[in-house]
Structure formats: C-alpha cells, structure tokens
Amino acid sequence: MLAIKAVFDGNKIVLPEKLVNVPPGEVIVIFESLATAGPDIDEWMELQEEAFARAWDNDEDSIYDSL
C-alpha cells in the first residue's frame, strides 16, 4: 500500500508530478479533508494507513498484485 497526498480540484484528483515506481492500476481513494480535520488528524491518518497495510500487504492477498 502506498499513501500519496493529492488535491481534489472539484472535478478530478491531481497527483504530485513526481511519482516514482508506481505502476498503473486500480486504486481506492479515501477523502479526508486536511483543512477541516481536527487536531488529531495526523494520528488518525497513521492509524488508517496501518489498518490498510495489515489488510492488503500480506502473502495471501499478493495474488491480486499481478491482476
């Protein structure tokens, strides 16, 4: 799993220009507005990233990496 900060311009998600070693494929986008987030947003985002990593970064699910 890879977390990338991006911007939603109202029509599309704009990614940073320099993405290295990121293959094309389907992604899951989770909207979390940093502008309206509370003071604990950094901790919350870290917990979310850890949860996704546990769910998707394992040998059992690695078969889906090549689809």
| Residue 61, domain member (yes or no) | yes
Q: How many domains does the chain have?
A: 1
Asked if residue 63 has pLDDT above 80, the reply is no
| Residue 30, domain member (yes or no) | yes
pLDDT of residue 39: 74
Asked if residue 56 has pLDDT above 80, the reply is no
pLDDT of residue 15: 85
Expressed as residue numbers, the domain containing 52 is: 7-14+26-66
pLDDT of residue 11: 92
SS3 assignment for 7-67: EECCCCEECCCCCCCCCCCCCCCCCCCCCCCCCCHHHHHHHHHHHHHHHHCCCCCHHHHHC
Query: pLDDT for 2-49, tens place per residue?
Result: 777 888 888 998 888 777 788 888 888 887 766 666 777 778 778 878
Q: Which residue has the higher pLDDT, 13 or 63?
A: 13
